[in-house]
Amino acid sequence: MGKATECVVAYPARLPSGAPTQFNLEYYLNTHMPLIDKYWGPYGLEGWEVSKGLEDDGIECRYIIQATLHFESMQGLVAALAASETKMTRADISNYTNVKPDIWVLKEFARNTV
């Protein structure tokens, strides 16, 4: 198996002003992520996970939501990000949040299973 190529999209829990971020998780999962499947699937999107930051016992998370998207190859991810359909997915962001996400592109470096 080759090394995984991932795109991590993380939504800050707070705006630059310090105010809490608004995030409609139901819309994100039921409307936005199906757009991602539809538009990025042809470019080698293999799957994704969405994780929710937990604030508990006084621990404040820096990110409220993080999506990790798995691609067959770096070339596929680059093509998906450059595709004309990606403009539509970016335009949809304002429908579920009031914050700009941080985005990282990663290539798996090492893995261990215990």
- CATH code for position 66: 3.30.70.100
Report d(CA 11, CA 62) in Å as an integer: 9
Burial of 72 per CB tally in 10 Å (0-12, 13-18, 19+): middle
What six digits make up the tokens of 87? 């403009």
For residue 114, tell me if it sits in a domain. Answer: no
- Percent pLDDT > 90 in the chain is 81
Report d(CA 77, CA 40) in Å as an integer: 8
Report the pLDDT value the prediction gives residue 2, as an integer from 0 to 100.
Answer: 53
The mean pLDDT of 37-48, rounded to a whole number, is 96
Q: Biggest alpha carbon distance in the chain?
A: 44
Q: Does the pLDDT at position 3 exceed 70? A: no
Boundaries of domain holding 38? 5-107
Q: Does the pLDDT at position 25 exceed 60? A: yes
Report d(CA 70, CA 106) in Å as an integer: 10
Q: Which residue has the tokens 């293999």?
A: 46
For residue 112, tell me if it sits in a domain. Answer: no
For residue 26, tell me if it sits in a domain. Answer: yes
Tens digit of each residue's pLDDT (9 = 90 or more) over 44-98: 999 999 999 887 777 778 999 999 999 999 999 999 999 999 999 999 999 999 9
